[in-house]
Amino acid sequence: MIVDIILDGFFAALAGIGFGSISDPPLRAFKMIAILAAIGHALRFSLMSFSGFDISTASFFGALVIGFGSLLLGKKVYCPMTVLYIPALLPMIPGRYAYNTVFSLIMLMQSLNDPEKLHNYLEKMVSNGLVTVTVIFLLAVGATLPMMLFPHKAFSLTRHEQKS
């Protein structure tokens, strides 16, 4: 169980770093992105596997932790919150559900003359699509919440301490 959680965090960290690199973050941010991605994803994994949470609620809590983490760690590397939390959130994007939505839509088009199949695929498409949209929305809101709670702290992360 512990091994599963650690492995989950490890691969999430790899994914966070890799997806982050597409968006050209400063080099000093990579370490923090990896830590946040690992903690967030491992938390979601634990909540879903051991506490029976559904994917959207678990994602929200994962994102919330990433958001608060980026507020704390952002000051250490002088990076705005979004620079740390957007790459860290990416491993939580519900790819499987997004894929199923597209796949069901295609199969729905292929089975327009078969009401039973049509119904089945329509149901799959709507449920998977809703999960995808809800999870992505909650991810964004969860990570942004700390920014709304502590605006002054969040807005001065890139300010270097004045030497007085």
Partner 1 sequence: MDTNTSFPSLEKFIAEYAACLMGAGVHTSRVVRNTRRIGEAFERDVKLTVFHKSIIVTIADPQTGKSHNEIADIPALPISFTYNSELSALSWEAYDKHLSLEILKEKFNAIVKAPHIHPLLVLLLASLANASFCRLFGGDLYSICIVYSATFTGLFLKQQMQKHKINVYITFIASAFVASLLASTALIFEHTTAELALSTSVLFLVPGVPLINGVIDIVEGYILIGYTRLTEAALLITSIAIGLSFTLLLVKDNLI
Residues numbered 44-83 forming contacts with partner 1, rule: CB under 8 A: 78-80, 82-83
Cβ-contact 94, 55 below 8 angstroms: yes
Per rule CB under 8 A, is residue 137 in the interface with partner 1? yes
**Distance in angstroms (rounded) separating the CA atoms of residues 47 and 62:** 9
Alpha helices in the chain, H assignment, sequence order: 2-22, 30-50, 55-77, 81-89, 95-110, 115-149, 151-155
> Out of 73, 86, 125, 135, which residue is the one contacting partner 1 (CB under 8 A)?
86
Among 49, 56, 120, 144, interactor with partner 1 by CB under 8 A:
144
Q: Compute the distance between CA of residue 96 and CA of residue 47 in angstroms, rounded to an integer.
A: 18
Residue of 76, 96, 112, 149 interacting with partner 1 (CB under 8 A): 96
Q: How many residues contact partner 1, by CB under 8 A?
A: 56
Count of C-beta atoms within a 10 Å radius of residue 137: 13
Q: Which residues bind partner 1 (CB under 8 A)?
A: 8, 11-12, 14-26, 29, 41, 78-80, 82-83, 86-87, 89-91, 93, 95-96, 98-100, 102-103, 105-107, 110, 136-137, 139-141, 143-144, 147-148, 155-160, 162
